[in-house]
Amino acid sequence: MTTIAVLGAGVMATALTFPASENGNEVRLIGTHLDDDIIESIKTSGIHPVLELKVNDSVKPYFFSEAEEAIAGADVVMSGVNSFGVDWAGEQLARLAEPGQTILCVTKGMQADEDGTLHILPEVLKKHMGELASQVHWAAIVGPSIAGELAVHRNTCVVFCGEEQEILDGLAKDFRTDYYHVWTSTDFIGHEVGACMKNIFAFGGGFAPGMLLKNGEQDNKYVMYDYTAALFGEGARELKQMVTFMGGDPEVATGLGGVGDMFVTTMGGRNVRAGTFVGQGVPFSEIRNVRMKGITLEGVAAIRVVGEAIEKLTDRGVISAEDYPLVRALYNIVARDAPLDLPWSTFFGGEK
């Protein structure tokens, strides 16, 4: 039996407690300081109020004030906070984690230095943990996985990536079930970069539906699949390009950690909803401040980080001005309120 402490009681972190606990592991679900209502609900009724599902009885809920007790002696500590809280999570792990534990990252995204140098989020956690970072093992989960589908045992295929194959094999055994299918890879960088980039392109999944709504054509049988497919294709190309640029295996882009994850993310959710408003002609500042005020948009956050970094890397001569035309267009929309006017002729290496 493995003892797994989960920091963060959001929908994905909680969904992962289902296969972990059903494999006979001891699972401790720790809410952050923002999750008190969730933990209170689980403690009193067993129900996660956002998933609207009963958490397995064997999962032990803890308030954040009890985090030290919950993490002490655990074999695996899962970091399940969203990308906006990754620095906070690093500070907590520096205080609470113990040498020899495995840090399992669920959060997706990247951060950038002032000069545009990009870092995957496990590197951000390591920065906060100092010397302790070299005394623990590192791994992450990527792939097409919707929390609710996983929690109700729909077939889900993912990749556990990390630095040590032996650690990955152990984690796969802890989580693998007849509905949660796990592959492993030591291409840590490639898979983490892919997991960030797929969120960026999900935003464009809402453009065509928004344009149809704007024109009163939402019931037209010709629903602009061509448009969305072209965006998806260019997104896949730029995802592959970024994986390669960051030092990962470009083949990651063709698998679960690339187009597989990008497909499911473009099927719906908050980032697609934001993209639908863009398609309707709403300036992004209005979407952020009025239409979707207070709603976490991790894909948009990734666009801001990566888009700004790409501009700085271009200025430094590290990448070409012709690289990443879709990311640049999306960045102009979310950072500069640019209207939706995609540079089609620059996609796929440029029309010749």
Domain shared by 174 and 274, yes or no = no
Domain shared by 152 and 211, yes or no = no
CA distance 161 to 171: 10
- What's residue 220's pLDDT? 87
Q: How far is CA 112 from the centre of its chain?
A: 16
- What's residue 202's pLDDT? 87
Q: Which residue has the tokens 């100092």?
A: 130
Among residues 186, 220, 244, the one where a domain terminates is 186
In a domain, 303, yes or no: yes
Q: Which two tokens stand for residue 241?
A: 């390009």
Task: Specify the amino acid at residue 229.
Answer: A
Among residues 164, 186, 208, the one where a domain terminates is 186
Number of domains within the chain: 2
Q: Which two tokens stand for residue 94?
A: 């520096």
253 and 280 Cβ atoms separated by less than 8 Å = no
Q: Is residue 23 predicted with pLDDT exceeding 90? A: yes
Q: How confident is the model at residue 314 (pLDDT cuts 50, 70, 90)?
A: very high
**Domain extent for 110:** 3-186
Domain shared by 161 and 215, yes or no = no
In a domain, 191, yes or no: no
- What's residue 115's pLDDT? 98
